[in-house]
Structure 1
Amino acid sequence: MDGKVETFKARLVAKGIFRSRDLANGRQDSFPNGSLDESIYMMQPEGFIEKGQMDKVCKLQKSIYGLKQASRSWNIRFDQAVKGFGFIQNPDEPCVYKRIKGDKLVFLILYVDDILLIGNDVGVLTSVKEWLAKQFDMKDLGEASFILGIQVIRDRKNRTIALSQASYIDKILSRFSMQDSKKGMLPFRHGIKLSKEQVPKNEHEEQFMSRVPYASAVGSLMYAMLCTRPDICFAVGIVSRFQSKPGPDHWTAVKHIFKYLKRTRDNMLVYSGGDLVPVGYTDSDFQSDSDSRKSTSGAVFTIGGGAVIWRSIKQSCIADSTMEAEYVAACEAAKEAVWLRQFLIDLEVVPSANKQITIYCDNSGAVANSKEPRSHKRGKHIERKYHLLREIVQRGDVTITKIASAENLADPFTKALPQKSFDGHLENMGMRDMTHLL
């Protein structure tokens, strides 16, 4: 319950790697809850072979861990069961189910075999848990305090909820021997440029980098970034570009992110129960990638004062102007807004969900072109797929509005910023130290 290991288990696992290609690959032991629609045989597990039965094999009655279709079998059975109990699957996010009866509602969120229940009536929640326990071999862990390594901290008096990965950060700092490092002020140093040319230049550097767990470190940072740490999104996006052949400079940049996390391990994403109006921000730099001359798109959406969606990604095309780069970034942000708006509408609990989402952009040319074609000579070469932005705007899903660059929350997703600007943006996207609640 506190993010630490509580129990150890032994588990029988099928060697699915030896099977021919098949279907695509809780709570407690949920995968064995899945049924099989075909005959599958496996060798008898060591230690359970009876005398005189050595030449026999086992025929599986249920799906077990290791089978390529184990997760699919479990998901199909779970989906059919909860729908039979009155839950409706969200078409925009299949892991989310809802059941609404009158003024009482329950949301069920499924992640593989972990289940989170949310509702406004304790009695209804209890009945759902009791029903689930009858259907599946499950363990009730009580009120959610840790979910997938994310700590959930509530302040009911002030109607806020915070998400923290401090325990996870401690683990990865220790895993990559950074627990005793100095503390970093920023996740990515202002003025630093990385490129594919910074590969190991001699045998000594080659040997050094062969011992560096670069991809594992980047992957560990990426999990924190995806869950609760939008502040390292830009930095992780940059270092992830060099996983095929990283050099010492790339590894130094990765370690700098770890140093920053050590200083800010207690930073949390905080949401309030007040303003539930989704707001988006989009930004782009211009041809910042030294190797491809491509630009970086950045976007962030907030609800309740905290970030709920964020991204920093290298564009797939080479932009010919800052307007084009910003226009491409705005299109990608608008597509994200379409999904977010429909998702919130399907939840039926956000009053403002049917209203168009405002996306702020700091480029006047991109804002103007999102409404109607402008400057045909300079923009006629832009790939047609990005003009989807105009269609999204015209049908009323979003509106693109001008904002000053200094106030654009997407700015730290496209470039390294000075300390003061960086900290100000983090505060506005809901990132703050809330250890006083612990």
Structure 2
Amino acid sequence: MSDELEALECTGTWDLVPLPHGSVPITCKWVYKVKTKSDGSVERYKARLVVRGFQQSHGRDYDETFAPVAHMTSVRTLIAVAANRSWKISQMDVKNAFLHGDLDEEVYMQPPLGIEVPPGHVCRLRKALYGLKQAPRAWFERFSSVVQAAGFSPSEHDPALFIHTSKHGRTLLLLYVDDMLITGDDVGYIAFVKKKLSEQFKMSDLGPLSYFLGIEIEHTDDGYYISQQKYTQDLISRSGITDSRTAVTPMEIHLQLRPTDGTPLEDPSRYRHIVGSLVYLTVTRPDIAHAIHILSKFVSVPTSVHYGHLLRVLRYLRGTASRRLFYAHSSQLQLHAYSDSTWASDPVDRRSVTGYCIFLGTSLIAWKSKKQTAVSRSSAEAELRALSTTTSEIVWLRWLLADLGVPCPTPTTLLCDNTAAIQIANDPVRH
């Protein structure tokens, strides 16, 4: 707590001023957390002063709040390209990232315990604090201005990706809130950027990429392996499963679940917590994407039947926790994709489900299972909608790869198993 208060004083986070008439100060509190490494050992103990942002009012002490973060597909694509180019990926972390953001609005806060202030005085915030609604936006604007001054340019296709090109090569920086990945073939400029960032912010150089946002990355001579094994084991431990059974598949074939199946759960919070955690697990586990898509439809009113199928997914994960995605050095940087669709598979509204996966050579970088927005009157129409969704993702990935320095001069192969949909896509006159 002393270190945190010292950091706040060093950055000039607030000024002690009399509370203006008509202003309403917000309150704050301390939050404590134990940070662990990927193997579960204790890394450090953390104390953070957090503002109760729910007391803010729009138009009074905040306006815009949106701040971009790196798309997970961008993270996987960056790793796949780095594996092919034999680039080293460095990871850096910003200490107290949100404290570096400058505030444009007038925000007043009650002084935290331990600070002596004159009677009637409050803290006028000059810098952002964790908990403020506009804190992520203020931090990203500050970071973006610093890296652009260092020579980077933001990508038009992922605002959290910054690119620098020179005669010595290309440098890529990908930001996810306060965690960043830096890679490229311009070693000298990478060292310059690290030094420049350390001058502006309190940085931690975490060395080669190994553990990022709960994702474990292992670098070998053959390429990169990514997984969420520790995350999976922690989730199974928190779920409260008492048996040791495993399942061969995450869900039964042709399963159709309805909101009325079974009896509503007395406490749906555990179901919601597990489903929400599994949604993040699909970052490295495409094999459960469709099952989680189905189960997430019932988070508002889950039933005993839905919970039983959720436990099956957990038992499947227990037996496959060590599965990983592999991004090989020898993989060709050529896109190809697979698209498929159900037809009228939802028993309630009869909408179809789109599924696709996109490979960069042998590296799987993008996938999705999502219900379509309209009812299709034939299987060909459902498959054509799936082709359209996949094409949109391919076009975006081609733009992103161009930013990463991977040109795509040839058309991308998109595979589908529906003859009518293929004919319509090839010749729109048939539609």
TM-score normalised by the chain length of structure 2: 0.81
Q: Which of 323-332 and 269-278 deviates more?
A: 269-278
Structure 2 alignment gaps of length 5 or more: 1-36, 66-92
Structure 1 alignment gaps of length 5 or more: 201-205, 377-438
Q: Deviations over 1:276-310 (max 9, x none)?
A: 11111100111111111111110110113121110
1:233 aligns with 2:296: no
Question: 1:371 maps to what in 2?
Answer: 426
1:47 aligned counterpart, secondary structure = coil
1:2 aligns with 2:38: yes
Counterpart pick for 2:416 among 361, 364, 373: 361
Give the superposition deviation at 1:343.
1.0
Question: 1:175 maps to what in 2?
Answer: 238
Question: 2:380 maps to what in 1?
Answer: 323
Structure 2: distance between partners of 1:29 and 1:222? 27
- Asked whether the 8 Å contact 1:3–1:146 carries over to 2, the reply is no
- The residue type paired with residue 252 of structure 1 is G
Structure 1 consecutive aligned stretches of length 4 or more whose deviation exceeds 6 Å: none
1:283 aligns with 2:340: yes
Question: 2:145 maps to what in 1?
Answer: 80
Give the superposition deviation at 1:180.
4.8
Q: Deviations over 1:233-269 (max 9, x none)?
A: 1100011111111111111111111111111111001
- Asked whether the 8 Å contact 1:345–1:354 carries over to 2, the reply is no
What aligned pairs does 1:144-183 form with structure 2 within 5 A after superposition? Answer: 144-156=209-221, 158=222, 160-178=223-241, 180-183=243-246
CA shift in 2, pair 1:38/1:192, >3 Å: closer
Give the superposition deviation at 1:270.
0.5
Structure 1: distance between partners of 2:107 and 2:348? 50
Give the superposition deviation at 1:120.
2.1
1:136 aligns with 2:176: no
Q: Deviations over 1:373-399 (max 9, x none)?
A: 3555xxxxxxxxxxxxxxxxxxxxxxx
Structure 1: distance between partners of 2:413 and 2:266? 46
- Asked whether the 8 Å contact 1:272–1:304 carries over to 2, the reply is no
Structure 2: distance between partners of 1:272 and 1:148? 21
- The residue type paired with residue 64 of structure 2 is A
Structure 2: distance between partners of 1:242 and 1:64? 36
Matched residue pairs, number? 363
- The residue type paired with residue 361 of structure 1 is C
1:283 aligned counterpart, secondary structure = strand
Counterpart pick for 2:320 among 240, 259, 264: 264
- Asked whether the 8 Å contact 1:162–1:271 carries over to 2, the reply is yes
1:16 aligns with 2:90: no
Q: Deviations over 1:58-91 (max 9, x none)?
A: 1122111111111111100111110111111110
Q: Deviations over 1:14-60 (max 9, x none)?
A: 2221111123334210110111223321111112134xx23211112
- Asked whether the 8 Å contact 1:30–1:138 carries over to 2, the reply is no
Counterpart pick for 1:335 among 392, 401, 405: 392
- Asked whether the 8 Å contact 2:268–2:302 carries over to 1, the reply is no
- Asked whether the 8 Å contact 2:169–2:186 carries over to 1, the reply is yes
- Asked whether the 8 Å contact 1:368–1:374 carries over to 2, the reply is no
Structure 2: distance between partners of 1:90 and 1:180? 49
Question: 1:412 maps to what in 2?
Answer: none
2:414 aligned counterpart, secondary structure = strand
Structure 1: distance between partners of 2:426 and 2:50? 56
Question: 2:167 maps to what in 1?
Answer: 102
CA shift in 2, pair 1:209/1:307, >3 Å: farther
Structure 1: distance between partners of 2:426 and 2:361? 28
Counterpart pick for 2:249 among 169, 172, 186: 186
Question: 1:111 maps to what in 2?
Answer: 176
- The residue type paired with residue 189 of structure 1 is E
- The residue type paired with residue 146 of structure 2 is A
1:221 aligns with 2:278: yes
CA shift in 2, pair 1:357/1:241, >3 Å: same
Give the superposition deviation at 1:140.
1.1
Q: Which of 246-255 and 41-50 deviates more?
A: 41-50
- Asked whether the 8 Å contact 1:162–1:268 carries over to 2, the reply is yes
- Higher strand proportion: 2
2:136 aligned counterpart, secondary structure = helix
Give the superposition deviation at 1:191.
4.2
- Asked whether the 8 Å contact 1:173–1:179 carries over to 2, the reply is no
- Asked whether the 8 Å contact 1:163–1:269 carries over to 2, the reply is yes
Q: Deviations over 1:388-432 (max 9, x none)?
A: xxxxxxxxxxxxxxxxxxxxxxxxxxxxxxxxxxxxxxxxxxxxx
Give the superposition deviation at 1:131.
1.1
Question: 2:155 maps to what in 1?
Answer: 90
1:81 aligned counterpart, secondary structure = helix
Give the superposition deviation at 1:192.
3.0
Structure 2: distance between partners of 1:335 and 1:263? 35
1:313 aligned counterpart, secondary structure = strand
- The residue type paired with residue 229 of structure 2 is A
Structure 2: distance between partners of 1:73 and 1:373? 47
1:65 aligns with 2:105: no
- Determine what percentage of the aligned residue pairs are the same residue: 35
Structure 2: distance between partners of 1:326 and 1:98? 37
Give the superposition deviation at 1:211.
5.4
Q: Deviations over 1:109-168 (max 9, x none)?
A: 100111111122443322211111001111111111000010111112x2x111010010
- Asked whether the 8 Å contact 1:294–1:318 carries over to 2, the reply is yes
Structure 2: distance between partners of 1:6 and 1:178? 28
Structure 2: distance between partners of 1:178 and 1:8? 29
Question: 1:249 maps to what in 2?
Answer: 305
Question: 1:409 maps to what in 2?
Answer: none
- Asked whether the 8 Å contact 1:33–1:137 carries over to 2, the reply is no
- Asked whether the 8 Å contact 1:199–1:245 carries over to 2, the reply is no
Structure 1: distance between partners of 2:399 and 2:213? 26
Structure 2: distance between partners of 1:261 and 1:241? 20
- The residue type paired with residue 132 of structure 1 is L
Structure 2: distance between partners of 1:126 and 1:179? 50
